[in-house]
Structure 1
Amino acid sequence: MTFENLNLIEPILKALQNEGYTNPTPIQAQAIPYILQQKDILGCAQTGTGKTAAFSIPILQLLHAQQPQKGNKTIKALVLTPTRELAIQIGESMAAYGKYTGLKHTVIFGGVSQKAQTDALRAGVDILVATPGRLLDLMAQKYINLNHIQLFVLDEADRMLDMGFVHDVKKVLKVLPEKKQSLFFSATMAPEIMKLADTILVNPAKVEVTPVSSTANTIKQAVYYVKKGDKKNLLIHLLKDGDIDRALVFTRTKHGADRVAKDMTKAGVQAEAIHGNKSQNARVRALSNFKSSQTRVLVATDIAARGIDVDDLSHVINYELPNEPETYVHRIGRTGRAGASGVALSFCDAEETPYLVGIQKLINKSVPVIENHPYPMTAKDFAEAASTVKQQKQHGGRGGRTRPNNSSRSTGNGGGNTRNTTSANGNSGGNRRWDNKPKTRQA
């Protein structure tokens, strides 16, 4: 299927052609026709499936058909999204796909001066992309009127709830017109997500693509068992491989992201960190440098990375494994996007083995182990870590940790998981060449 098969108008097809997009992803092929029929949508799609284009393209087409009169700019579509990075990404998509439609959009978010945003609002926009806090703030200041909204998108609904925005979302919903088309997208559909969807949608068409429990087949996954203190050296070692053009590195904490970026810079690797404590200008600059390959390594926390959309990202590296298995799926979904291939590498120390067990259970596959690297863990390392965790739990410290699998003591491989061992001619595995070139580009 091509975009021509979706009955898109010429201005949008021309813009898609300019971007090099020819084939819709599954979520786009399913959602776009329903949205053009003006149906409400309940969409379940994990990151990297092309969800942004799935709602941006039909919104632009529906509004273009109205041929608004010159000087009569009222906000007709609202896209509500949890993070600044994701808002910026959606804004970039609207600009790219709507280049020839004559429609205007703007993006508003907190952490920066509001003047440029309010100036754009005064000039008039058709489409508003917003984060909840800044939207409510500018509504209170009477800069924004949502009385004419025809299309409402709630994007990344699960992350909205995770970040505590549910009350802000409900405040926005109260002022929206009762008659409107609503599009609801989430990577997961937990009961509380469905409860929220029921308050927004009317007889929605359901679209579900690649549930969160699965990872794209185009992503080559592997894990290194390594002591916590050796992770820095292992990362430096891997980055000596010229095949790693750019790497998005994940840590669990903001402090950890700063520390890893600093360590890489000291080792001569261009690296920057991105997380919630960084100023908006610093975050935008770091992401821009990464996209343009001025920065080779971007170190990120999970929330900050949710809106990162980088074409042809070759590698994702889990410097620290997440304690929630679903987060692993979201992380590695930053590579291998829209049919392209990618590599996801994970560092697992002894205390993190329960996290790996949970991940493998969720994705229903064993992650191949790379044994031949300079910093392998031993059975003694696992035994010492297990003893430390046991003592901490007995004394009430760091109580949430689960003891590593005892079977790891005899094998030294971190829990006796199925080993599908990936070796690479006696080195770290970096010389094993996985083709990362995208085949057919998709939106």
Structure 2
Amino acid sequence: FSATLEGPGIAQFSKDILVNPESLTVDPSRKEKAKIHQWYHLADDVQHKYQILKHILTEQAESAIVFVKTRERLQQLKDRLAADQINVVWLQGEMPQDKRNEAMSRFKSGEIKILLATDVAARGIDVEDISHVINFDMPRTSDVYLHRIGRTGRAGAKGTAISIVEAHDFAMLSRIARYIKEVIKPRVIEELRPKHKAPSIKKPKKSRLAKAKKAAKKSGKAKKKKGRGKNITSRKQDG
């Protein structure tokens, strides 16, 4: 399977073995990101996070990838979901290839609707018709967030990306919002309403290009208005 490699280790490795390497960064188009609805749910603690996740998986998602940060977290979540009779398959690092193939086959066929995965194990996944990507744990970096949510909204379909966050996750959520230049808004499940108020997320700053376009648009409108005023004055004088 194919994989996207990232991180400081890979960058240093490429410098050591390549001559004058060039780095290319591809930013997903706004059209592609617009197909993915993004929001977050605030949780008071890990137990609350799990209850929100359980509600989404049983009441909202048709098919979902749930991302976690470690193999230990994956094992805990897998066991908890199994205890609640929610069937899942999972991918984790150092997983035998035959086990990985079996998990992916069951997920792709629709036999199992939920896939748990760590970021490393999820590299190379290409499955259509994934309705939801759920960040049970926030990613380490903003570009990893983009890689994650890119698993939904494929082949012209719309998708949903949900982050279940605690208060300490808001610094990363703010960085992601700035990186993707979009506002990630909160949502609340009424029966699982959080006790605490969410910290504020700084709105992403507009790029210089966007500001320049807005200024040019205003200037153009002002010139048109001024031109219409001159024409009216001219007609009055002619009359």
TM-score range for the pair, normalised by the shorter chain length: 0.7 to 0.9
* Offset at residue 301 of structure 1 (A): 0.8
Tell me if 1:357 matches 2:179. Answer: no
Given the alignment, which residue of 216, 222, 234 partners 2:33? 216
| Structure 1 counterpart of 2:80 | 263
State the SS of the aligned residue for 1:343: strand
TM-score normalised by the chain length of structure 1 = 0.41
Kept in 2, the 8 Å contact 1:222–1:370? The answer is yes
CA separation of 1:291/1:336 partners in 2, compared to 1, >3 Å: closer, same or farther? same
Tell me if 1:231 matches 2:16. Answer: no
CA separation of 1:339/1:237 partners in 2, compared to 1, >3 Å: closer, same or farther? same
The answer to which structure has the higher helix fraction is 2
Q: Which amino acid aligns with 2:2?
A: L
1:300-311 matches, cutoff 5 A: 300-311=117-128
1:174-185 matches, cutoff 5 A: none
| Structure 2 counterpart of 1:166 | 13
After superposition, the C-alpha distances for 1:262-300 in whole angstroms (9 at most, x for unaligned) are 211221111122111322221121111111111211111
Distance 2:128 2:48 in 1: 31
After superposition, the C-alpha distances for 1:169-212 in whole angstroms (9 at most, x for unaligned) are 94xx8xxxxxxxxxxxxxxxxxxxx94238xxxxxxx9x86449
1:404-443 matches, cutoff 5 A: 412-415=197-200
Distance 2:10 2:96 in 1: 18
State the SS of the aligned residue for 1:86: coil
State the SS of the aligned residue for 1:339: coil
After superposition, the C-alpha distances for 1:20-72 in whole angstroms (9 at most, x for unaligned) are xxxxxxxxxxxxxxxxxxxxxxxxxxxxxxxxxxxxxxxxxxxxxxxxxxxxx
TM-score normalised by the chain length of structure 2 = 0.73
* Larger relative contact order (CA 8 Å, sep ≥ 6): 2
Aligned alpha-carbon RMSD (Å): 3.0
Distance 1:245 1:237 in 2: 12
After superposition, the C-alpha distances for 1:84-129 in whole angstroms (9 at most, x for unaligned) are x427xxxxxxxxxxxxxxxxxxxxxxxxxxxxxxxxxxxxxxxxxx
CA separation of 1:354/1:276 partners in 2, compared to 1, >3 Å: closer, same or farther? same
State the SS of the aligned residue for 1:231: helix
Kept in 2, the 8 Å contact 1:212–1:326? The answer is no
Tell me if 1:335 matches 2:152. Answer: yes
Distance 2:30 2:120 in 1: 19
State the SS of the aligned residue for 1:229: helix
Kept in 2, the 8 Å contact 1:214–1:329? The answer is no
1:36-55 matches, cutoff 5 A: none
| Structure 1 counterpart of 2:62 | 245
State the SS of the aligned residue for 2:129: coil
Q: Which amino acid aligns with 2:13?
A: V
Given the alignment, which residue of 257, 276, 279 partners 2:96? 279
| Structure 2 counterpart of 1:318 | 135
Q: Which amino acid aligns with 2:140?
A: N
Unaligned runs of 5+ in 1: 1-84, 88-155, 174-193, 199-205, 380-411, 419-443
After superposition, the C-alpha distances for 1:357-377 in whole angstroms (9 at most, x for unaligned) are 111111111112102343333
Kept in 1, the 8 Å contact 2:39–2:162? The answer is yes
Percent of pairs with identical residues: 29
| Structure 2 counterpart of 1:101 | none
* Offset at residue 215 of structure 1 (A): 6.2
* Offset at residue 344 of structure 1 (A): 0.7
Unaligned runs of 5+ in 2: 204-239
Moved over 6 A (4+): 212-215
| Structure 2 counterpart of 1:197 | 22
- The count of corresponding residues between Structure 1 and Structure 2 is 202
| Structure 2 counterpart of 1:37 | none
Q: Which amino acid aligns with 1:414?
A: P
State the SS of the aligned residue for 1:290: helix
After superposition, the C-alpha distances for 1:146-166 in whole angstroms (9 at most, x for unaligned) are xxxxxxxxxx3x438655893
Distance 2:178 2:161 in 1: 17
Distance 1:350 1:376 in 2: 14
CA separation of 1:417/1:214 partners in 2, compared to 1, >3 Å: closer, same or farther? farther
Distance 1:310 1:218 in 2: 16
Kept in 1, the 8 Å contact 2:88–2:112? The answer is yes
Distance 2:157 2:102 in 1: 26
CA separation of 1:195/1:272 partners in 2, compared to 1, >3 Å: closer, same or farther? farther
1:73-112 matches, cutoff 5 A: 85-86=1-2
CA separation of 1:284/1:160 partners in 2, compared to 1, >3 Å: closer, same or farther? farther
Kept in 1, the 8 Å contact 2:43–2:166? The answer is yes
State the SS of the aligned residue for 1:329: helix
| Structure 2 counterpart of 1:384 | none
Kept in 1, the 8 Å contact 2:42–2:194? The answer is yes
Distance 1:355 1:248 in 2: 20
State the SS of the aligned residue for 1:159: coil
State the SS of the aligned residue for 2:144: helix
| Structure 1 counterpart of 2:220 | none
